[in-house]
Amino acid sequence: MGFLMADLNLRVTKIETLTSGIKSFWLESGDGALLPEWTAGAHLVFTLNGALKKSYSLAGDPAVRDHYLTAILREEGGEGGSKYMHDVVAVGDILTASQPQNNFHLAETAKKHLLIAGGIGVTPLLAMSHTLKSQGADFHLHYCSKARQGTAFADEIETLFAEHVTFHFDGGDPSKGIKLNEILAQPDDGQHLYICGPGGLLNATREAARHWPDGTVHFELFSSTRSDEEKQTIAQAAQGDQPFEIKLMSNGKQLAVPADQSIFEVLRDNGIMLPSACEEGWCGNCVATYTAGEVDHRDECLDDDERKTQLQTCVSRAAAGEVLVLDL
């Protein structure tokens, strides 16, 4: 489990400006050793500026172990993680990051893979494309962005994946972009879909794939897709939260989760550090497996199938007096 793994110290060895808003970062181990293994779809949780936690997906080839590659869009809003990476971090700096975490796996049993990337959401899908190509798998990447000029890794992706990739440039008007209803009309037998990109594309893709079989649609969020009103309603409803219990499978310990604390906080206070970043239920980092109890799921990142056995500890709760048994 993630809470047993030590953080990594990664040396920034190269920074490239890919587009006017996107930079890529090469990261090597501080002591020159090979980096921990990872699988396509994984990300690192960076602790920036001593406290701020931000997840960035790995974009390179998982078979390459001497460096990690990530690419980051500089965002004006938000908590400043991307601004820090763009404006402060320099070659030679050492960054603290988690071990690679993966909540966005390629489905091992899939016969065919359809990947849809929006903008900087291409990063985990680029890693997936490397793996799928090396496996000789049947896959296709649809890469959506405004214009070729602002499209990170466009040349590299075209060269590497040639007939496996289609670019969709909409000039800023989504109605001129990818035709989701056509592309997703008829899932092939054993086909799985992977989406990563901005909320609008993600919601539209999930809507257009509503008829795909359960468990075949996978997605990774870069931010919450909830509106401010929805967030407000959720915050108001949280006033009525009740205390409940969690039980740890490893030692049988039962812990109380008070009305004003999350499972994540109670675990942390008891020495169990799960990875975390958003603490709002969308990044997927703080996931835990549970084996008993009825969960009040409040995340945005798990699908119905995953929710049968997993929960996001930063937001999900249970009814008063319920005992959730966690595989921790």
Q: Note the residues at the interface with ligand FES (CB under 6 A).
A: 276-279, 281-286, 299, 312, 314
CB of 300 to ligand FES, least distance (A): 8
- Residues 102, 287 contacting (CB under 8 angstroms): no
CB of 285 to ligand FES, least distance (A): 5
Question: Residue 16: how many CA atoms within 13 Å on its side-chain side?
Answer: 10
CB of 315 to ligand FES, least distance (A): 6
Nearer to ligand FES, 37 or 230 (CB): 230
- Residues 108, 41 contacting (CB under 8 angstroms): no
Handedness of CA 264, 268, 274, 278 (dihedral sign): positive
Q: CB neighbours of 179 closer than 8 A, spacing ≥ 6?
A: none
Nearer to ligand FES, 191 or 312 (CB): 312
CB of 232 to ligand FES, least distance (A): 19
Nearer to ligand FES, 99 or 145 (CB): 99
How far apart (Å, rounded) are the C-alpha atoms in residues 328 and 325?
Answer: 9
How far apart (Å, rounded) are the C-alpha atoms in residues 115 and 129?
Answer: 8
Going by C-alpha positions, the residue among 32, 34, 54 that lies closest to residue 45 is: 54
CB of 74 to ligand FES, least distance (A): 22
Provide φ and ψ at 7, rounded to 5°: -65, 160
CB of 100 to ligand FES, least distance (A): 16
Nearer to ligand FES, 97 or 208 (CB): 97
Going by C-alpha positions, the residue among 261, 312, 306, 305 that lies closest to residue 282 is: 312
Question: Residue 251: how many CA atoms within 13 Å on its side-chain side?
Answer: 5
DSSP 159-211: HHHGGGEEEEE-TT-GGGS--HHHHTSSPPTTEEEEEES-HHHHHHHHHHTTT
Nearer to ligand FES, 114 or 274 (CB): 274
Nearer to ligand FES, 197 or 275 (CB): 275
CB of 30 to ligand FES, least distance (A): 26
Nearer to ligand FES, 121 or 281 (CB): 281
Q: CB neighbours of 205 closer than 8 A, spacing ≥ 6?
A: 116, 180, 184, 193, 195, 219
Nearer to ligand FES, 151 or 312 (CB): 312
Nearer to ligand FES, 38 or 282 (CB): 282
How many distinct helices (H) and strands (E) make up the chain?
A: 8, 16
CB of 276 to ligand FES, least distance (A): 4
CB of 221 to ligand FES, least distance (A): 9
Question: Residue 28: how many CA atoms within 13 Å on its side-chain side?
Answer: 11
